[in-house]
Structure formats: structure tokens, C-alpha cells
Amino acid sequence: MTALQRYADRRALVTGAGSGIGQATVLRILEEGGRVAAADISESGLKDTIDKAGVRAERLTTVVIDVADEGSVQSAVAEAIRALGGLDTLVNAAGILRSGHFEQASLADFEQVIRINLIGTFLVTREAIPALRKGNGPAVVNFSSTSAGFAHPYMSAYAASKGGIQAMTHALAMEFSKAGIRFNSVQPGSISSGMTDGSGEAKQSIGPGLPADTDFALFGKTAPMLPLDNGAIFAKPDAVAAVVAMLGSADAYFVTGTEVRIDGGSHM
């Protein structure tokens, strides 16, 4: 258990909270004393988050959300803010990954990734802004990716969505700087999550599976440099959750308009 209590007086909304990094972020903020609204498209995933929260679940509210649907976002964000009594930290962790040969990608496939990852981040953030304006040291943490700035084969739609999120984060940081709302993003790489390990309802229904003829030599520049336990190639989600918690807290009061890469040195 962490000794930090940076969220003792903070209210946070976390999307993608039913698995992976989003779930780890919810648990981390609860550990630090925060009140959290966990949002996800998967009801079973949210139940799992409640179970893992244990006694801290008394400070946890769950809402079902489809971040790709404007109406769902409007109602879910409003419900979350009502339950929390306001909003201080927003974490946009919801997203999907679909991999495949670029020339074989359908327009529907490409648009779906953009819709959930990029447009979903836009919709949730837009609906949260009025509450954040009234929040205590308000902060938004978006999820970009190492793929936004470095070559990840077979992931063009995902990379495009994450590059868009990173650029949008910079623009919003400037636009809302005088309102005191901080915007930053994290760039996870080589992290076990609902998108990479098969957990999470969206992942199971969409599947990021690499092509059968994948050239794994192309992934040479994405391997982490730092050693992991038992020879693992993916770090646990808590590696990202710890950084997200810092960026969403008052400790990062002078940090805005930037991104933090969390990849074990893969892209040095």
C-alpha cells in the first residue's frame, strides 16, 4: 500500500476502468484516498474493479459508458459528476488496439479505432470541462502511446489516433491554461493491458491480433531495455498508473502541455 495520500480531497473520473491500466489507475487513486467514478463499456469489467477495490469500494462509483457514442458520454459523465459532487481529475484511459496489414484495413476498421480512441477522448473531455473549471487544481491525463512518435508496424490506425490525442493535449493545455486546467498525456509502451493481454470487453470483441505472417524483426526497436521479473516483455499496468496518479495530482501543479513516456527505455 502506498503511503501517499495525494487524492484525499480529490474527485476523479477514469474511463477504461474495467481492465488493464485504467483499472490500475482507479485502484491507485483509491489507495491515495481519492473518490473515483470508474467508467467502462464492460459491466463485468466494472464489477471486477469493484471486487479488487475491496474496502475502498465505498469511495468508488461505477458508470457504464461507450466513449464512441455522444449520448452515452453525455449521460455517463453527468452521472459521474453528480455522484462525485464535482470533478478535479479526468483520466481518459479508454481505448482499443487493432493491428493488421495497412493495405488490408477496411475504412470501418480504421474509423472505429479513431472513433473510440481520439473522438472518445474529445467527447469525454468536452463534457467534463464545465465541472473541471470549478474543480480543485483540475487536471486531465490523456493516453497517447509510444506509437505516436515512433514506428510501430501493423498499427497505423492506432498510431494515428494516439498522435491525434497527443497533439490535441498540447492544444487544450494552451487553450485552458488561464482557466488553470492542466492537460498532459502518458505514452505507455510494452505494458500489459486489456488491449494486449485479451482482457476487456472491447479487446475481446475486436481483437488486435497481429497478422499470421508478422515480421517480428520489425519490433526490434520496441523492446524494453530495463529488465523485468521472470523475463517478462510487458510491464504491469501499475507502472503507468503511478505516473498517471502523479500527473493528476497537485504534485504536478507546474506540469502541463507535455507527455511522459513509460516504456522501460525502449525508445531512448
What's the grid cell of residue 160?
Answer: 494515428
Question: Cα–Cα distances in Å, from 52 out to 55, 94, 132, 159?
Answer: 9, 19, 28, 31
CB-CB neighbours of 219 under 10 Å: 16
Among candidate residues 7, 154, 158, 253, the one labeled active-site is 158
113 sits in which H/E element: helix 107-114
Instruction: State whether the Cα torsion 154-122-11-72 is positive or negative.
Output: negative
Contacts of 5 (CB under 8 A, 6+ apart): 32, 33
- Distance separating alpha carbons of residues 134 and 129, to the nearest angstrom: 9
- Provide the 3-class DSSP secondary structure of residue 157: helix
CA dist 260 and 39 (Å) reads 23
Give, in order, the Cα–Cα distances in Å from 193 to each of 94, 132, 240: 11, 28, 10
Our answer to whether residue 253 is catalytic in this structure is no
Query: CA geometry: angle at 225 spanning 251 and 93, to 5°?
Result: 45
Q: Is 5 helix (H, G, I), strand (E, B) or coil?
A: coil
| Active site residues per annotation | 158
